[in-house]
Structure 1
Amino acid sequence: METKQVAWTPTMSAYMLANLCDVVAKGTRTSTGFKKCHYVACAKALNDHFHLSLTDTQISNHNRTWRRKYQKIVKLKQLSGAGWDEEKFIIVLDHEHYTNHILDHKEDEPFLNKPIEHFEEMATIHGGSMATGQFARGSSEPLASNNVVHLDEEVAATPDEVGQSQNVGESSAPKQKKAKTNHSADAGLQATLLACSERLAIAIEKTADTNNNSTLELWENMKKLPGFGLDFLAHYYAYLVENPRTATAFQVLENEQKMIWVARYVKNTFPDFVQSVDPTDGGAEG
């Protein structure tokens, strides 16, 4: 049965993205894409709100469109000479570079030298399920991620997309398993923490400059979360400071939900060192 085309309005798209963001924020694992039940629930929410008759397939297809946009944005951020405004979410090119690039790539014009609409939502939904390791290690992104692109489960991929996904997966997959010992894990974790100390210092300095009382109180509140070492909390604190909108959302959560967010970040950022993360008790076992 052929899927009926939907005329998506900006308001409908924003509502869908917010709904799927909420699924991720609640701790649902979406590294291999959303499940059918998530799309069904999202379709019901939109139908109730806008008095529509959308199906889960139509939600999945539209989410796939936004995944492609985010994939393009991640690649454009790596253009030679491009800057990234983490406050306004703008890929910045100088006039000459921008003009020359648009001449050859007219389709990239909506994503350059202007605020990218719904960037945070796209990053939340798709940032953990596509190539981010070498592409998005900017100051506003998590410290480490798996460099793999996953396709939505409910939508069949084209042959070209499957080829791209396989190529990326093959280039980033480990050739052999590394021996896991407590000593090597501790040494690697210490090296990682030391390497990121400068970033943490910059984040703390940035916090002091903002004079934002809610942000200034963020660290004191985070230190009270049980089950996490201060090193892990400090890394997530630095990430929140660099992403003030995420920090604002984080602060309104109850402690149980905060622990879920921290646990997910720790597990994604330190996959080689964290053996288990159980959000139910807030524990991060390294």
Structure 2
Amino acid sequence: MSGFILRKFADLVGQGVKTDKGFKEVHVNSVAKALTEFSGQEVTGTQVYNPLRKWRQKWIRVCRLKDLSGAHWDENTFTIILDDEHLLGHTKDNPKDAEFPNVAIENYVQMQIIFGAGQATGKYAMASNEPLGTISDVTEGAGASEEPCLVGTTASGSAGASPSHSGAGAGSSYGSYGKKRRLSDEELGIMTGLTGAVNKLAEAVQAPVVVQTTDVHPDLYQICMSIPGFTDEELMTCLTYLLDNKRQGDGFVKMEPKHCVLWLRQHLAKI
């Protein structure tokens, strides 16, 4: 079942799921659902998370072993090759590493897909100048409080499957389990600016529209509506056009009466 879980998470990464901040709750639950359907037994997100955490610990050991002096890496078989002398010396001090040297590493490709890009935080986070798949300064016997964050926090601040704590490194974005991530000064400034812009836009949308009519010639209405030979509807149609077109309205007021009549006839003929 552990290998099934790892392969399902690797499939998610292959589909484009971002893992730089851990898997989201929806992804953990999707793997739990797939395992439930596969096994016929109910599986929770926590039960999926725990095997993933163990695979992460294996990946840390594998990366450290690959960097050992005297170790050789066989890319074809995914095997860390150590001679007997180096193997005995290392496993004496690190007995948990004895299962990895000189044997093909199980599910190496899947572990590399999931963890190779540096998903961990805190003390397990990789520096920007380190190659993918290496772990910086990992010590043996790290406690549970030093586990990397494999499951991202949700909007409410809770972990997707199981509580996890990041290290004290400056790059850590998460506090203790159950707390919301604090915004940086830069993020807070951006959010404040956006909030102000949205509020101003809302005020502008809700504000009543005021039509400025002070630039309309004061005699335009009287001159236009008093011209004989036209119905009130025809005169009102022409007046509306003149009010909407200030230059036309100013010119109309300055016309002689006979030219005003001619303008009205031509304008009505165009409609």
**What is the TM-score normalised by the length of structure 1?**
0.46
TM-score between both structures, scaled by the size of structure 2: 0.49
